[in-house]
Structure 1
Amino acid sequence: MKYAEIKPGYIYTEERVITDEMVRSFAEITGDDNPIHLDDDFAARSIFKARISHGVLTLGLVSAVLGRKFPGPGTIYLKQDAAFRRPVYINEKIKIKIEVLEKIEEKSRLLLSTSVIKENGEEALTGQALVLFKEDEEE
């Protein structure tokens, strides 16, 4: 999508499933091997009763949407505020929702609402992102 075509109120959504492999890879890459994410027995005794995804892994999927799908390649993250509201469990389907709140024309920036919604409709993550978006000049 071209910057000129983006309007406040536009909503982009995408569904993903948080897999065991994603969680284990994220733990290995970051070193965050908290047993709430990796150990079934430990997690079963927790307030969550089962293993959960890293919150930042879930937020990383928002980043992937911003950089690849909407607004797309060339997007530069300038700021992200996020609140982790509910856990996302292993093998749970989520919906990533990005909504354009404001377009700042003179700086090619977008203020976006960012959220992750669980398959039961509860919000797992809410926040706002400020991004710089200038599409490739060759498009």
Structure 2
Amino acid sequence: MEIGVKFCGGCNPRYDRGRELTALKGKFPDVTWVCGSSDQVCDYWLVICGCSRRCIATQELLVRKKILLLESPIDFQKAVKQIKKDQRSRGKQERKALTVGDEAAMEKKVTKEVVEAFASLTGDYNKMHMDTEFASRQWFQKPVAHGMFSSSLLSSVMGMKLPGDGTILMEESSQFQKPVYLGDNITAKITFHSYQEERVFYIGTFHGVCTNQNGEIITEMKAKQMMMKHLFQVKEKGE
């Protein structure tokens, strides 16, 4: 955990701010303390005021959790409780470690019920998907699953496995190589390709491939995911 510290000008301090901060730091030996660098992203910023006037700017502070305004010893006690509570929560849910090159996959059998459920969810009842007689007279000669169905399988892998809980889809493009028919067994696989680091999150690039039971590629996807730093820890392969 990183905690930043910023003092007001101290024109009229009503208590010993340095002593209170020293006592607070002593309770958290594992914390990384940041002083004198307002442009660094921290989990918390402690804005230490000498009185209730709070004559200090906080707009430029970059924070993952919260800015805590401390203007009395009682506020320091509240800050201790807040930080301890956060540490207990972090102990229960550590950041997920991701390495470039990681892979994850899932399998799905395409049934009539699955296609009907997808149509109901999206409102897409195109006869190419739903009407056997109509589809038999078209190019593929039988009903095909929605193209976005296979893309949604890849999205499910990203949402549930890689990166997993908390990720947010930012961008996606898909190419549909072959049709998906009723009875097909689809394997959707995601690979973590690369990432870009921002101040409070990573932008991960992921490549996805869906294959059928014959090993044929039916769908290829490229996607970008936002991964918050308090949820994910990312590194290159070999680091």
- Partner of residue 128, structure 1: 222
Structure 2 residue 206 is matched with structure 1 residue 112: yes
CA distance in 2, matches of 1:81, 1:51: 24
Q: Cα offset for 1:130?
A: 0.2
Secondary structure at 1:49's aligned position in 2? Answer: coil
Contact 1:7/1:103 (CA < 8 Å) preserved in 2? no
Counterpart amino acid of 2:106? E
* 1:90-138 superposed Cα distances (whole Å, 9 cap, x missing partner): 121011010111022333221000111111111111120000123775x
Deviates more, 1:92-101 or 1:22-31: 22-31
Structure 2 counterparts to residues 91-102 of structure 1, below 5 A: 91-102=183-194
TM-score by length of 1: 0.87
Which structure is higher in RCO with an 8 Å CA cutoff and minimum separation 6? 1
Q: Closer, same or farther in 2 for the Cα pair 1:69/1:135, shift >3 Å? A: farther
Q: Closer, same or farther in 2 for the Cα pair 1:136/1:69, shift >3 Å? A: farther
CA RMSD of aligned residues (A): 1.9
Structure 2 counterparts to residues 1-139 of structure 1, below 5 A: 2-3=95-96, 5-106=97-198, 107-134=201-228
Q: Structure 1 unaligned runs (5+)?
A: none
Contact 2:189/2:208 (CA < 8 Å) preserved in 1? yes
CA distance in 2, matches of 1:2, 1:41: 52
CA distance in 1, matches of 2:149, 2:216: 18
Contact 2:119/2:125 (CA < 8 Å) preserved in 1? yes
Secondary structure at 2:120's aligned position in 1? Answer: helix
Q: Cα offset for 1:30?
A: 2.1
Counterpart amino acid of 2:175? A
CA distance in 2, matches of 1:81, 1:130: 9
Give aligned pairs, total. 136
Counterpart amino acid of 1:129? A
Larger Rg: 2
Q: Structure 2 unaligned runs (5+)?
A: 1-93, 232-239
CA distance in 1, matches of 2:229, 2:197: 14
- Partner of residue 44, structure 2: none
Q: Closer, same or farther in 2 for the Cα pair 1:2/1:52, shift >3 Å? A: farther
Using the aligned pairs only, state the percent identity: 31
* 1:54-109 superposed Cα distances (whole Å, 9 cap, x missing partner): 01122111111111122111110000011111111112101101011102233322
